[in-house]
Amino acid sequence: MLNVVTTTLVDGVAIVTLDNPPINSLGHSLRDRLVQQIGRLQADPAVHGIVLTGSERAFSAGADVSEFGTVLQFREPILRTVIARIEASAKPIVAAISGAAIGGGLEIALACHGRVAESSARVGLPEISLGLIPGAGGTQRLPRLVGPALAFALMASGQTTTVSELATSGLFDVVTSDHRCVQAAIDRAKALVHQGRPYPSARDGRLEPTVVEAEVARQHTLLNARQRLQPAYGALLDAMAASALPFDEGLRKERRLFLDLLETTAAQALRYQFKAEREAAKPPTHLPQARQVQRIAVIGAGTMGSGITIAALDSGKSVLLLEQNETALARGRERIREYYSSRVKAGKLDQQQAFDSESRLTSTLDWKRLGSVDIVIEAVFEDLAVKQEVFRILDANAPPGAILATNTSYLDIDAIAAATSRPQDVLGLHFFSPAHVMKLLEVVQGKATAPDVVATGMSVGKALRKTPVLAGNAFGFIGNRIYNAYRRQCEFMLEDGAWPEDVDAALTAFGFAMGPFAVADLSGLDIAWRMRKAQTSQRDPRERYVAILDELCELGRLGRKTGAGYYTYVDGKQASTTDPTVRLVIERASARRGIERKALSPELIQRRALLAMVNEAALLLDAGIAVRPSDVDVVLVQGYGFPRWAGGPVFWARRQDQGRLQSELAQLAEDAGFGSVPASLDPIFKTDRQAGDQ
C-alpha cells in the first residue's frame, strides 16, 4: 500500500499527516490508510489525542477526480465511512488546517472534534460547481456550526474563502498565524483530553426549525434564473432544510439528494467540462520544450491591450506597454492604475501586492525598447493592413527568437506572418474581453508556426492563468467561427417569423447568459457591420444574407451606446420587446425573401441554434481547425456564454440520436440555401482520443 499517511508521536499526541501530493486528494488508497491508522491509534495506550494535518499547500483539496466514474469512487471505505470513524473516535481528533481544505477535505475537518487553522488557509465546499452537493455530511455539519445563512452562502458560491474571513464564524476553535498551526492543534487536543468525553461534535448542534425554514424560503427567492435551471441549487436548499431534522435523518436525506444528482445531465456535463478544461491545456501531440518567457511586450494600450497587460502583471511577469502616442499611452496607464486601486479598495489585494504588480510595468513610445523582450503580443485595431504594418515594425525591432503574437479575432494569421521575415515565430493569441477576467485563450497555429512556438503559446496561456485551447488558422478560429454560424441561424429565424425577444428569451431559457441580439446591442452593432462590409467582395450573391443588422446600423441604431439597436434603451435599461421600427425592418426582410412569417416555438428556436453550432463544430473538427471535440465545448463555455451545466454543443449532440441529428442538419442546410453544407457528424461522435490519433 502506498505510504500516503504518516504518523509521529509528540507528547502523547499522534500527528497524522496526509501525504498524497500535490493536494492530498482523497483517493481510495488514502481513505483506506487513514481508517487503518485511526483504528491503530485507538488501540495504542501511548496515544491520548490525535492531530490530523496535511501539507503546507493543502490539508486536503477533496476528491480524487481521476476516480470519478470508476469503481474506486464508491469502494469502501468511502468518505462517509472515514468521517464516521473520525467522529466516533474515543480519543479527540483535531484538524490542523494549512493551505486548502476543500470539498471532502473540509468535510473531514468538520467531523473532527476541534479545528485549528492558519489565517491564510482557504476553505470551501465547491461541489455545486460539479452539479452536486456535499455528500459526506457537509450540508448537515456546516449549518450547525456557522448557521444556515452563512452555510448556504459558502456552499452555493462554490468558491473558497480565507480562514481570516471566517475567524469569528464558529467554524474554528483557534485561528493562528502561519506555521503555528500544528502546535496550536496539539495544544487543543491536550485540552480536549483534559476536558474528557464527550468531545465537541458538530452533530450535537441544534438548529431551530423555524429559523432554517425561513432562511431556506429566503434563499429560494434569491436564486437567479440560471441557478433555477440547475438541479443542484434546489437540492442544496432541500438538504439545508433537512439540517433542522435529527442529525442522522438529515444525513440520510443529504445522501439521497447527492446520489440523485450524480446522474443528472447537469452533473455529468459539469464533470465533463471540468476534465475537458484540463485536457485542453495539453496538446494532443508531442511538442518540444517551450521557450523561456519572462518579459512581455504588449502593443496597444486600449481596453484589450490594458487587459492583457493586467493579466501578465498579475501572473508575475514584467510588461513593456507600447503605444503610438502619449495620449493613448496615458489612458492605458490610468486604466491599469484604476484597476489596481479598485482591487485594493475591494479588499482583493493589499497595497503592497498592487504596488509590486504596477512596478513591473514600463510604458513607452519607442519601438527600439522591444530589443529585450521574449514575446510581443499585438492588440491593435482589427484591420489586416494595420496589423501587417505593426508586424513589419516588430520584425525590425524585436530580438531574434522573440515570439510575435497577434490578438486577432478573425484575421488570417498567415497573412500577418507574411509581413515578417520570420513567420515561424508568429502565432495567434486570441484573448477574450475583458482579457484580465476571461479565462479562455485560443492559441492559433499558422502554417509556418514552429512547434516550440506553439508550445510557448500554450505555456504562456497557463502562466497567465488562462485556459489555452489550440486552434488552426481559419476565419474566426474555433469560437468566432461557431458563434458566427449560431448568430447567422438566429438571423434566419428573424426572417422566418421570430422577433429578437423570442430568440433571446428561448436561448436564455436554455441557459445562455444573454441572447444573441442583446449581446449584439451590448457589444455594438457597428462592430459586426464593419466586419460584414469588409467581407462584401468575398460573399457569393447566391448565399442567404440577412441585412437586418445593416439596416439598423444605417438608421443609426448601433446598440446600447446609441440608445437603440435591436432594442431601445432608456437610462441603460433594455425594453422588454422590440419597437415598431425594428419590427418593420424585419417584416420587410421577410417579404423580400418571400417568406410567410410563422411564430417559432422556444424549443424550435433552441434546437435550430444548437444544430447550427453542432454543424459548424463538425466542419471545424473535420478540417482539423479544432483538434479534439471537447476543445470545442471548452471554447463555447469559457468564451461565449454556453451554459456550463449543458456541457457545450458537442456534449449536447452526443446525447441526441445521431440519425435524427444528421437528418435535421440536412434540412437546416436546405433551408439556408446556397453555400450551406450539412456536415458529417462522425467527428462529433469520435472520442477525444480517436480525434487526437488522426
Total number of residues shown for the chain: 694
In whole angstroms, give the CA distance from residue 352 to residue 350.
Answer: 6
Label each residue of 577-631 as H, E or C: CCCHHHHHHHHHHHHHHCCCCCCCCHHHHHHHHHHHHHHHHHHHHHHCCECCHHH
Beta partners for residue 430, in sequence order: 442
Which candidate in 87, 118, 127, 277 is catalytic? 127
- Residue 660 burial (CB count, 10 A): 9
Instruction: Report CA-CA distances (Å) from 14 to 1, 116, 175, 192.
Output: 21, 16, 21, 14
In whole angstroms, what is the distance from residue 196 CA to residue 599 CA?
A: 73
Closest to 518 in 3D by CA, of 480, 482, 487? 487
Q: 122: Cβ–Cβ under 8 A, 6 or more apart, which residues?
A: 99, 100, 101, 102, 160, 161, 162, 163
* N- to C-terminal Cα separation, the chain: 39
- Contact call for residues 656 and 277 (beta carbons, < 8 A): no
From 107, 215, 442, 501, the catalytic residue:
107
Q: Which residues contact 235 (CB under 8 A, 6 or more apart)?
A: 133, 257, 258, 260, 261
Determine the longest span between alpha carbons in the chain, in angstroms: 91
CB burial string 564-573: b at 16+ within 10 A, e below: bbbbbbeeee
Helix (H, G, I), strand (E, B) or coil at 366: coil
What does the alpha-carbon distance between residue 633 and residue 227 come to, in Å, rounded to a whole number? 20
Cα–Cα–Cα angle for 669, 674, 680, nearest 5°?
35
DSSP letter string over 196-233?
-SSPP-GGG----HHHHHHHHHHHHHH--HHHHTSHHH
Tell me how far apart the alpha carbons of residues 192 and 387 are, in angstroms, rounded to a whole number: 69
566 phi and psi angles, rounded to 5 deg = -65, -35
User: 184: which 3 cell numbers?
Assistant: 496550536
Active site residue 127: yes
What are the helix (H) ranges across 296-444?
303-314, 326-345, 351-359, 384-397, 413-417
Contact in structure between 148 and 207 (CB atoms under 8 Å): yes
Dihedral of alpha carbons 680, 684, 685, 688, sign: positive
Q: How far is CA 141 from the centre of its chain?
A: 29
* Residue 107 falls in the annotated catalytic set: yes
d(C-alpha 283, C-alpha 289), whole Å: 12
Q: What DSSP letter does each residue of 36-75 carry, written as one string?
A: HHHHHHHT-TT--EEEEE--SSEEE--S-GGGTTSGGGGS
Instruction: Give the whole-angstrom CA distance, residue 637 versus residue 615.
Output: 17
Asked whether the beta carbons of 277 and 648 are under 8 A apart, the reply is: no
* CA-to-CA separations, 665 to 73, 672, 679, in angstroms, rounded: 39, 10, 7
Q: Which helix (H) or strand (E) holds 192?
A: helix 181-195
Q: Which string of b and e fits 152-180 if b means at least 16 CB within 10 Å? A: bebbbeeebbebeebeebebbbbbbeeee
Rounded CA gap, 79 and 71, in Å?
14
The set of catalytic residues is 107, 127
